[in-house]
Structures are given as C-alpha cells and as structure tokens.
Amino acid sequence: MHFEVHLPFWLEALVAFFLLLGAVFAFIGSIGLARLPDFYSRLHAPTKATTLGVGGMLIASMLHFSYAQGSLSVHEILVAIFLLISAPITAYMLSKVALHHQSPSVQNTQGQDLPQQLQQEWHRERIKSKTDKPKLPG
Amino acid sequence: MLTFAIWVGFVLLSLSLLLNFWRLLVGPEVIDRILALDTMYINTIALIILYGLSAASGLYFEAALLIAMLGFVSTIAVCKYLLRGDIIE
C-alpha cells in the first residue's frame, strides 16, 4: 500500500485522529449490538455510535482529498447527509416493528404494558378505518 | 502514521463486521437480524471509504453512496413488510 500524496505532519495527524475516532466508534457500536441485553437497548448502539463512526471517517476522507485535489472535496457531505437523514428513520421503523411484535424487554424497563396498549390502539384504528370507508355513490 | 491509522481502522471495522455477523446468526428474533444487517451496511460504507482513502482514489464514494441508499431502502421495505404484511399497499 502506498500513497501518492504526502501530507504535512499536522494534517496527517488530524486525518489519522479522525480515522481512529471513526473506527473506534464503529467498533463500540458493534460491541453494543452484540452485548446489550434486549432489542430496545440494542437499537441504540448501531444507530448512534456507528453513524458517528462513519461521520468521523468521512471527515478524515474530506480533509485528505481536499488537500490532495487542491480544492474542497464535497462528495463526502452527500454520504454524511444521507446517513444522518436515514439512520433515525430506520431506528423509528425498527422500534415500531419491535413494539408491534411485542419484543421482550428487560425487567426494569419502565412502561412494560406499552406494547399491549399500542396493540389495542392499532387494532381499534384498523377496525375504525375498515368501517369508515366512504360509500361509493349509486 | 497514516498507514498505521489505516491498518488499525481496517482491523477494527473487520472486527465490528464479524460482531454484526454473529448477531445476524444468533439474533433471537427477526428484528435483531434486520438491525444486524443494517449495521453491516453502515460498517461496509465505512470500510469502502477507508479503502478509498488507502488507495488515494475518489472513485469509491459512488459505491458508498449506492450502498447507503440500498441499505436504507431494503431495511425500510422489510420493516414495512413486517408491520403491514405488504410493502406497497
């Protein structure tokens, strides 16, 4: 592995720092995914720590390529914005599915009866939307 | 120093991919497996960006963007299917 660009020392240190930060955060997120006890707590680790890890990598890559090209490199911002938008939506959908399937949580979680309540509410809404269908004319 | 950082990054990201794969195999429920797959997508994006940095080539961002989009859409599609029993109603 060789590098065509020779960065000045301070920039190399900065790029290496952000690279290590990103890699460590991604690793912490994966450890959390592997070790935390129930799904609701497991959901936190990848959606927050891993996204931050990718963010660190993207900052390092931006610094490196901005110096190498001699102009500001903005490709990475696209990936970063897309990830920052999509990660919360994914987490929301996954937690909704977990509540829907009544995924078990650890004993000392508050609001243990929330899944049942939501289930009844959704059931009621579904029945209501079925009976409230607009009648076709004629 | 940068070479060392890049190697450490490769090792850490590969280890996290292995941990995600373990969760994908073990995961007690379907939803754990979906979460593990989604995390694997995100870690793969980081790995591709790191590889682009180590190869000093800007060609890999398009691949990273594509994987990001595919991962997001597939996760949402599977979630939608589990929630409603259908993807497009």
Q: What is the pLDDT along chain B (89 residues), one digit of tens a residue?
A: 888 899 999 999 999 999 999 999 997 889 999 999 999 999 999 999 999 888 888 788 888 889 989 999 999 999 999 888 877 77
State both tokens at A100: 């829907």
| Domain edges within chain B | 2-84
Which pTM does this prediction carry?
0.85
pLDDT at res. A137: 63
Spatial distance between the Cα atoms of B64 and A26, rounded to a whole number of angstroms: 16
Beta-carbon pairs below 8 A across chains A and B: 162
Distance from C-alpha of B87 to C-alpha of B2, rounded to nearest angstrom: 45
List C-alpha distances in Å: B47 to A24, A96, A109.
13, 29, 35
Both structure tokens of A58? 């993207």
Residues of B in contact with A31 (CB under 8 A): 16, 19
d(CA B43, CA A26): 7
CB-CB neighbors (< 8 A) of A103 in chain B: 29, 31
Q: Which of A134, A2, A15 lies closest to A73, judged by CA?
A: A15
Classify residue A126 as left (phi > 0), alpha (psi -120 to 50) or beta: alpha
pLDDT for A96-128, tens place per residue? 898 888 888 888 877 777 777 877 887 888 788
Q: Quick one: pLDDT at residue B46?
A: 92
Confidence of residue A1 (pLDDT cuts 50, 70, 90): very low
Here the ipTM equals: 0.90
Would you call A8 helix, strand, or coil by DSSP?
A: coil
> Searching chain B, which residue's CA lies closest to the CA of residue A18?
B5
